[in-house]
A and B are shown apart, each in its own frame.
Chain A
Amino acid sequence: MKRFFAQCYIWLLLIVLYAPIVFIAVFSFTESKVLGNWTGFSTKLYSNLFTGNMQGTGSLMMAIQNTILIALIAATVSTILGTIAAIGIHNMKGRTKQTITFLNNIPMLNPDIITGVSLFLLFVFLHISQGYLTVILAHITFCTPYVVLSVLPKLTQMNPNIYEAALDLGATPFQALRKVLLPLLKPGMISGFILAFTMSLDDFAVTFFTRGTIGLDTLSTYIYTDARKGGLTPELRPMITIMFLGILILLIIINLRKARAARNAVQ
């Protein structure tokens, strides 16, 4: 009985939580401009989205491209910078280590809007004209600390003698780095990269303040401007649906694999 009520509560919450998305998904299969107005089944919005054949919304494709490109560049640079920084921090001691860890925590604690405003003021102060470069720099700034935090635990778990053993056995420092250190840090680097990539994809506020006035749009800023103009571009409905399904499937696969791995480990 208790179990029944518990399950009722959970599913009720889920139904309410997912109602907006289901609603968007259902209405992605009709052509009507206004949401909530069913004008018959159609996959036209989907084909419009993929062929880019949309009235006055050609920039949606551009925004998606920008989002992915910026996230890829920011995540790659943050992973490299963050890994080097983590190795450096690991070998540091005392005051410098404290200062750098403190500074590293700030972008993670700061609300997006503060990070955005502060970087905006920096670029104004340095007279850097804002555009792709400033957005990418800003994304690297708030992504790198997460990479540092994903790589650092791998360094503390590592046996420090391994690296020295490689050097003793005649490896050059570069070889020791590439063949010994990097393989050990790889899991941390990968999770750092994924974290940085999703943080960058999701970002709205920081991009908004650092993109300047050259008309650069990512998906978030596109949605924002679009919604403020009144009414959402119909082609966003199939896109939201596809993204939801994609992430849902991905998460379920990851979780099933984890569960299976755990079961195998027990056996």
Chain B
Amino acid sequence: MPYLIFLVLFVALPLILIILYAFRDSSGHFTFGNFIQFFTDKDAIETFALSLEVAIENTAICILLGYPAAWILANKNLNRSAVTIVLFIMPMWINALMRTLATAELFHMLGFQLGKGTLIIGMVYDYLPFMIYPIYNILEKMDHSYTEAAADLGATPWQVFWKVQVPLSMPGIISGVMMVFMPTVSTFAISEFLTNNKIKLFGTIIQENINSSMWNYGAALSLVMLIIIGITSLLQDNKKEINEGRV
């Protein structure tokens, strides 16, 4: 069928090419050199670690700020207005570069020193809606008889929250984590805007290598990123199974 050919040509073949290029030198011979170059380059490893750190911190802050917001939005006693929900969803529809640029300009005008601090705050700005929306969706559809039953059976509000509500909303948290962690770990333009090119993230290094025709090294770095993404999505699948098992 034609669509299979299309997928093989535009999805499978390009990914195979990343692998092929990653294990070749510029004259086309097989080599591990690109990976050796990466693992022995202190700057590259530090950038890689920093990217992971920033992505993890950003995801954690988004959960801490986003979960209570989603919880309030989904609670009919605390929030009756549909407009607030629209306001939280809307940024998802707007070009991320534009939003980041606006944030960076605001930091600039307020006289903030552009650096790691502004990078993380700016990323939280960009990705908070992507955390709130999936959690809100799950909480809104949740059957409240579970929490009521737990309370009737003598659980304290704190216990109801941690032992009933959080486990039940886990699928929402996991898809929120995926929607926040993946783009932050792979971003390149956003970090440049928010730090005025002071801090480089892993995505920026990939982009620089590809643009300066270092395709083989760039492909090797992309492969490293693909492996990180692969591991994250495997974790997601496992957790999902655990959850389905529990419910």
Contacts and interface: CB of A to CB of B under 8 A. Distances in A.
Interface of A: 2-3, 6-7, 9-11, 13-14, 17-21, 23-24, 35-36, 81, 84-85, 88-89, 92, 96, 99-100, 103-104, 106-107, 109-115, 117-122, 124-125, 137, 140-141, 144, 198, 201-202, 204-205, 208-209, 219-220, 223-224, 227-228, 232, 236, 240, 243-244, 247-248, 251-252, 255-256, 259
Interface class of chain B by DSSP: helix
Interface string B85-98: 11111110111111
Contacts of B203: 113
B69 to A, nearest CB: 6
Contact of B1 (A10, A88, A117): A88
Interface string B1-30: 111101111111111011001000000000
B105 A20 contact: yes
B185 to A, nearest CB: 8
B113 interface: no
B188 interface: yes
A251 B91 contact: no
Interface string B56-92: 0000000001001100110101110011111111110
B78 A7 contact: yes
Contacts of A219: 95
A117 B18 contact: yes
Contacts of B130: none
Contacts of B84: 10-11, 14
- Across the A-B interface, give the 10 residue pairs with the lowest CB-CB distance, nearest first: A118-B14, A36-B109, A111-B186, A85-B3, A20-B102, A6-B78, A103-B7, A122-B14, A121-B17, A20-B106
Given A14-B84, A121-B215, A3 B108 contact: no
Interface centre among A111, A198, A202, A205 (most CB of B within 10 A): A111
Contacts of A112: 183, 186
A227 B106 CA distance: 14
Interface of B: 1-4, 6-15, 17-18, 21, 65, 68-69, 72-73, 75, 77-79, 82-91, 93-99, 101-106, 108-109, 125, 128-129, 182-183, 185-189, 192-193, 197, 203, 206-207, 210, 215, 218-219, 222, 225-226, 229, 233
Contacts of B3: 81, 84-85, 88-89, 100
6 contacts: A17-B129, A23-B109, A113-B225, A118-B15, A122-B17, A251-B89
A119 B78 contact: no
B186 A252 contact: no
A227 B78 contact: no
Contacts of A247: 90, 93-94
Interface centre among A17, A107, A209, A256 (most CB of B within 10 A): A17
A14 B186 contact: no
Contacts of B1: 85, 88, 92, 96, 100
A86 to B, nearest CB: 9
A100 B4 contact: yes
Nearest to A231: B105
A69 to B, nearest CB: 17
B17 A125 contact: yes
A77 to B, nearest CB: 11
A21 B14 contact: no
Contacts of B68: 9
B188 A198 contact: no
B7 A100 contact: yes
A17 B196 CA distance: 21
A117 B105 contact: no
A17 B186 contact: no
B73 to A, nearest CB: 7
Contact of B106 (A19, A208, A240): A19
A263 to B, nearest CB: 12
A23 B105 CA distance: 9
Given A104-B7, A113-B186, A7 B82 contact: no
